[in-house]
Structure 1
Amino acid sequence: MVRLGGTFSLKRRVRGGRIAVTALVAAGLVLVPAGASAEKARPGTGLEALAGKRILLSNDDSVQAAQEDGADGRGLYILRKALCEARADVIVVGPWRQQSGRGRAISTAPQVRLAPPVRIPAEYAGDCATAPSRGLVMGACASAGPCAPDSASVTPADSVDLALGAFLPRRPGWSGGPDLVMSGTNSGANTDIAVNMSGTVGATTAAAERGVPAVAVSANGPGGPIAPPTDRTYEVSAGYAAKVAARLLARRDAAERLGREKLMLNINVPHVAEGGRTPSPRWTRMGDTPLGRITYVPDGAGGYRIGFTAADPDTRFDPRSDTAALRDGHISIGAISVDRTADPKWLRSLHLTR
């Protein structure tokens, strides 16, 4: 059991707007342009750069993976499998239950616990059997007692904070922390202004705040940005994310710079049909036009039903944006920063400090 006493506060700091590309390109993390073959553009190191690397994996969909449609953690286990196949040493610490939309939120419970999940899909149980940590999976619940099926969950950011600050330092071989934190693969896209509410990105934000390089991975379902992805889409997402992780960790200076500058990589993968080709990646910026919006419809009894309305098919997106990349059928990859600072000259012209 890991106990946290008292109260604490962390600012939710995920900057929207400009994507910090230059630093990553200068550091050697040059990714595949749209229209090119991901396989042909892969660097000479390939996935072998992941061998022996310590990767903390989290998500916001829970560690249970009990839903048949794969909406509550199946993407995490498929990504875990891909990383372990590349001989990375993976430990999972994630929310006990579904925590989508929690952003960088923190829990207020005075105590939390870590425990193996109630259910791990049998098909993924042996994926990391030969790794030093054997693919350990721990769920974080908000409870003074043992985690039960109905226990409240901590947030995705809590999971990463707990792992980095208390759990991993006590693990043999992990006292120096992970080489990389990955969050996903999320069920549903995390693009444009939705990034600010994303628990998947919130988990990587917690890592970036500590200077640990981090990558968020999300995927579209066949019915749009909030539909659960198919296993084929999860597999494509995991394969591409593993390549990105390998490229990053093959250049230690790039990984260190990502952490030092408190940047996160944000990957989004469109729906991939069964038997369909892997989409080509496109380097993007965070858009400001969403693929859809949460809606509130009066229920006639004084309340509102919560729903989701997809963007009109004729909506024009910034062609450089993550939303446009997904709409065009490309994998979107971009960088976002913990630092939300803006310094527009027009505000300074108001002389607000006088």
Structure 2
Amino acid sequence: MRSARRNLLALTTAGAVAAGLGATAYVSAPAAQAKQPAAASKHHPQKPTGKPLAGLRILISNDDGMQAAKPSNSDGLGLYELRRAMCAAGADVVVMAPWQVQSGKGTAVTNGGVLTAQRRTALPKGYENDCAGTPSGSPVFGVCVADGPCGKDTPSATPADTVKLALRGGLKAKAGWTEDPDVVLTGINSGPNIAASVNDSGTVGAAVAAVDQNIPAIAFSAEGDATNTLFPVQTYRATAEFGAKFLAGMRQNKLLTGKFAVKVDYPDTTNGEKVRPPVWTRVGNGAAVYHDYEQKNGGDSFDITMGLCEGKLSSGGECDESRKDADQVWLLEKNHVTIAPITWDRTYGTSIDGTRELRKLESYVKHGAPRA
């Protein structure tokens, strides 16, 4: 068994004990930002450039935040790689992401108070000019829960908050977009979102928030390295470049739909194994890691810890995986890119309103999707 399952443990632990934010330059939202050029609408696309995503407008969010300050690359660096790849393919991109790490928030929302979308003016080194010349200027916003500027310790909006805010007025106010984005992308998450982890994932939760409003959405996640401490730029970049090609193919084949979200998990590229082609999967019904709770001194308090499913995925109990087409089997044991559809409708036994679209996408993944 590969060490990928331990990467999941490293990911979840990193999210649970996220440290303070790095020093980064920001400005609050001055009125001058309203003067940015508005993105072209769906009906008046930007001039053709010959690039596969030209004219496409993309909202990006995640659950790792947008700070990208940690040496482990676990706090949002994947978001900047995704932004870079989409702009390079010709898209107009706006980022509206949680202010701080929000791993494990699922579809949680903030029910009261004030949200502030604060623009980041100094992007991480090496990513400053990735989207130069796009119609919107491709701003990056961090969203916090505050009636005023976001600071080092300001509580963060959830991933679902950021997408709902963006689609319900935030993009119009902050980027000049008067129509919905063509697609919402979430991630790239620091670590895979597979099996039981899917229900906890804020990356997937943000994508569900988009399809809740009938906006096509794709959630991207990537494995960490074999040391359990680093999420390599190399893997983020491979994921992002695959993602741009995958999205271009979906667009070309008219597969973008708001009836369900698409979940993409990408293997580690630094373990010496060949990354294998994308596979159509289901969400696994077992667990790779799980939350556990240890009582402290027989009292009222419990430490939150992470349980790890060692050995084979068929080890029994909570760790048992019975689906041969499970995402975790094909990602962790076979090193394939895995793709699975995610629906917002949790009604058991209900036939989905999108069977035709689902079958066409499955065929594309099996026969036409880019190789990893």
TM-score scaled by structure 1?
A: 0.77
Q: Which of 339, 345, 348 is residue 339 of structure 1 equivalent to?
A: 345
Asked if the contact 1:65/1:120 (under 8 Å) is kept, the reply is: no
Asked if the contact 1:65/1:71 (under 8 Å) is kept, the reply is: yes
Structure 2 residues not aligned, in runs of 5+: 1-27, 30-49, 315-320, 351-372
1:47-98 Cα shifts (integer Å, max 9, x gaps)? 9331121000000101111111100000000111111111110000000111
Q: Distance in 1 between matches of 2:109 and 2:279?
A: 33
> What does 1:256-275 align with in structure 2 at a 5 Å threshold?
258-259=257-258, 261=259, 263-273=260-270
Q: Distance in 2 between matches of 1:231 and 1:287?
A: 27
Look up the equivalent residue of 2:306 and give its one-letter code. F
Query: 1:134, CA displacement in angstroms?
Result: 2.3
> Residue 238 of structure 1 corresponds to which residue in structure 2?
240
What secondary structure, in the 3-state scheme, does the structure 2 residue paired with 1:265 have?
A: strand
Check 1:220–1:299 CA distance in 2 against 1; reply closer, same or farther (3 A cut).
farther
1:323 to 2:325 alignment: no
Look up the equivalent residue of 1:154 and give its one-letter code. A
Q: Which of 302, 305, 321 is residue 304 of structure 1 equivalent to?
A: 302
Query: 1:110, CA displacement in angstroms?
Result: 1.7
1:102-140 Cα shifts (integer Å, max 9, x gaps)? 111111342111112486312111111121222210111
Query: 1:173, CA displacement in angstroms?
Result: 6.1
Query: 1:231, CA displacement in angstroms?
Result: 1.1
Q: Distance in 1 between matches of 2:130 and 2:275?
A: 23
Asked if the contact 1:114/1:141 (under 8 Å) is kept, the reply is: yes
> Residue 279 of structure 1 corresponds to which residue in structure 2?
276
1:203 to 2:206 alignment: yes
1:124 to 2:127 alignment: yes
Q: Which moved more, 1:51-60 or 1:106-115?
A: 106-115
> Residue 46 of structure 2 corresponds to which residue in structure 1?
none
Query: 1:340, CA displacement in angstroms?
Result: 0.9
Asked if the contact 1:128/1:134 (under 8 Å) is kept, the reply is: yes
Q: How many residues align?
A: 294
Q: Distance in 2 between matches of 1:80 and 1:301?
A: 48
What secondary structure, in the 3-state scheme, does the structure 2 residue paired with 1:216 have?
A: strand
Query: 1:168, CA displacement in angstroms?
Result: 1.5
Asked if the contact 2:72/2:229 (under 8 Å) is kept, the reply is: no
- Aligned residues: CA RMSD: 2.2
Q: Distance in 2 between matches of 1:343 and 1:270?
A: 32
What secondary structure, in the 3-state scheme, does the structure 1 residue paired with 2:236 have?
A: helix
Higher relative contact order (CA 8 A, sep 6+): 1
Q: Which of 247, 250, 253 is residue 251 of structure 1 equivalent to?
A: 253
Query: 1:227, CA displacement in angstroms?
Result: 5.6
Check 1:135–1:106 CA distance in 2 against 1; reply closer, same or farther (3 A cut).
same
Structure 1 residues not aligned, in runs of 5+: 3-46, 345-354
Aligned residues with identical type, % of pairs = 37
Q: Distance in 1 between matches of 2:152 and 2:130?
A: 24
TM-score scaled by structure 2?
A: 0.74
